[in-house]
């Protein structure tokens, strides 16, 4: 065996894929060949999910049927609703989402079918039901009744409706829709890779997405958007940003919302989120969080030359929409369900077990010592 160690699998190519392309030097992101900037400007999240799954953009009738199918699937099975109502106090939404998504397999008689047309149906179920899980849990923990989904709303608008109990203003629904597009896929990131590893054993779609959610949860991955907002609240004011950041960096702390394994320039998704943070702040007549985030961005770049990533401005975008901080990563999961499920289907279409090796550095000649002599 060749004795090289690629720590964190940096720059290791593990498969061919025609789903997503990242140019880390130019800061370009493509889904199925379409630039994410164009998709953010022109498409809806449903259109992007369709594109990811089918490899081509839907015609109007296809998009209408697809959007309706998502709307019809948004209702939750009784066992999942009962679980959400009985979750112990203090459970985090990502733990709850991970568990509830795993539970969805129990009410699917085809859950153990792998690599056939039922995978598409499962992908649709997952895409449609994750927003309902997150919204229902948030209402139940706040002693409110879950709001039934409105099949006539798009996914983003429906999520905000189920969360807040009233239809959102069009601007917020649009911004969330674009946020979902921007987070829909990102090549072989850690959670997608986890999903593919699980799928590669010929386990089922629900197991693969459960693995992915558990992986996304970490603060080095999707959990960073929550950490950014907690940091802004801790700093408290724009004029305190510079000294707070300098102090944190002097203490070797990593600043959430910065750095990336692939991008060596600005993350193309960040541009849209920066503009949204400013837009919502302007609309609400308070640019405090936008300005603070901007100052954080400037200070980290001046001090370390490190670029922001997708998580920096998404924090203040969701916060200003009145969304609880611990729902930020679940929103990332809702969006990424489109990408995860696409990758599971691609993995199964060309499957080979994913099983790397370790370079063994432990002892080789230990002699057995009976228990009474240790
Ligand atoms: N703050 C301060 N220094 C940083 C940061 C940061 N956010 N990110 C990287 N660095 C420094 C790091 O200390 C190291 O410096 P040195 O070589 O002097 O030790 C150098 O940059 C390389 O960093 P690394 O940690 O070896 O890079 P990595 O590719 O292993 O990690 C990362 C990538 C995203 C985990 C890391 O940049 C990080 O921890 N960022 C903060 C968490 C975050 O924002 N995560 C979201 C990632 S993007 C979206 C997503 O996946 O969810």
Domain with CATH 1.10.580.10 in the chain: 20-219+325-349
3-state secondary structure of 122: helix
Q: What is the pLDDT of residues 91-141, one digit of tens each?
A: 999 999 999 999 999 999 999 999 889 999 999 999 999 999 999 999 999
How many CA atoms lie less than 13 Å away from 16 in the CB half-sphere? Answer: 2
- Please determine, for residue 1, whether its predicted confidence score (pLDDT) is greater than 70: no
Residues of each domain in the chain carrying CATH 1.10.230.10: 224-320
Q: How does the average pLDDT of the chain come out, rounded?
A: 96
Pocket of ligand 1 (CB under 6 A): 8, 189, 220-222, 224, 254-261, 304, 306, 309-311
> Cα separation of 367 and 198, whole Å?
37
Q: For ligand 1, atom 50, name the residue with the nearest CA.
A: 221
- Alpha carbon dihedral 80, 85, 91, 93, in 10-degree steps, equals 60
260 is catalytic: yes
Residue 56 CB contacts under 8 Å (≥ 6 apart), including other chains: 32
Over the stretch 293-333, which tens digit does the pLDDT of each residue have?
999 999 999 999 999 999 999 999 999 999 999 999 999 99
2-53 pLDDT, tens digit per residue, is: 557 789 999 999 999 999 999 999 999 999 999 999 999 999 999 999 999 9
Tell me which CATH code domain 224-320 carries: 1.10.230.10
The model's pLDDT over 170-214, given as tens digits with 9 standing for 90+, comes to 999 999 999 999 999 999 999 999 999 999 999 999 999 999 999
Q: Give whole-number Cα distances, 305 to 239, 255, 260, 299, 300, in Å.
A: 21, 13, 12, 9, 7
Of 7, 12, 259, 308, best ligand 1 pocket probe by most atoms within 8 Å of the beta carbon:
259
Residue 290 structure tokens: 């936008």
Q: Which of 260, 267, 272, 343 does the annotation list as catalytic?
A: 260
Is residue 308 within 8 A of residue 16, CB to CB? The reply is no
The superfamily CATH assigns to domain 20-219+325-349 is: Citrate Synthase, domain 1 (1.10.580.10)
């Amino acid at each position: 065996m060749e004795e090289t160690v690629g720590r964190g699998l940096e720059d290791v190519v593990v498969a061919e894929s025609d789903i997503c392309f990242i140019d880390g030097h130019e800061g370009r992101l493509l889904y199925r060949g379409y630039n994410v900037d164009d998709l953010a400007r022109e498409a809806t999240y449903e259109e992007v999910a369709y594109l990811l799954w089918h490899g081509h953009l839907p015609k109007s009738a296809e998009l209408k049927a697809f959007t309706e199918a998502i709307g019809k699937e948004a209702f939750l099975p009784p066992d999942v609703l009962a679980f959400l109502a009985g979750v112990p106090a203090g459970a985090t939404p990502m733990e709850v989402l991970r568990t509830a998504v795993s539970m969805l397999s129990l009410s699917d008689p085809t859950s153990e079918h792998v690599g056939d047309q039922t995978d598409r149906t499962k992908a649709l179920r997952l895409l449609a039901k994750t927003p309902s899980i997150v919204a229902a849990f948030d209402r139940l923990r706040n002693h409110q009744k879950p709001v039934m989904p409105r099949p006539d709303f798009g996914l983003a608008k429906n999520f905000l409706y189920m969360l807040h109990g009233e239809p959102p203003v069009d601007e917020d629904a649009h911004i969330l829709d674009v946020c979902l597009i921007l987070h829909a896929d990102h090549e072989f990131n850690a959670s997608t890779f986890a999903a593919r590893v699980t799928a590669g054993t010929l386990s089922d779609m629900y197991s693969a997405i459960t693995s992915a959610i558990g992986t996304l949860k970490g603060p080095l991955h999707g959990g960073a958007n929550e950490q950014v907002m907690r940091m802004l609240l801790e700093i408290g004011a724009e004029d305190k940003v510079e000294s707070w950041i300098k102090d944190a960096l002097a203490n070797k702390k990593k600043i959430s919302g910065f750095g990336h394994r692939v991008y060596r320039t600005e993350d193309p998704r960040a541009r849209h989120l920066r503009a949204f943070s400013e837009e919502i702040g302007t609309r609400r007549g308070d640019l405090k969080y936008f300005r603070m985030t901007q100052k954080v961005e400037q200070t980290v770049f001046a001090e370390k030359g490190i670029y922001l990533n997708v998580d920096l401005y998404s924090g203040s975008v969701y916060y200003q929409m009145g969304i609880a901080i611990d729902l930020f990563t679940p929103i990332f999961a809702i969006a990424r369900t489109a990408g995860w499920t696409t990758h599971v289907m691609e993995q199964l279409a060309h499957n080979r077990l994913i099983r790397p090796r370790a370079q063994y550095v432990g002892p080789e000649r230990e002699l057995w010592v009976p228990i009474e002599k240790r």
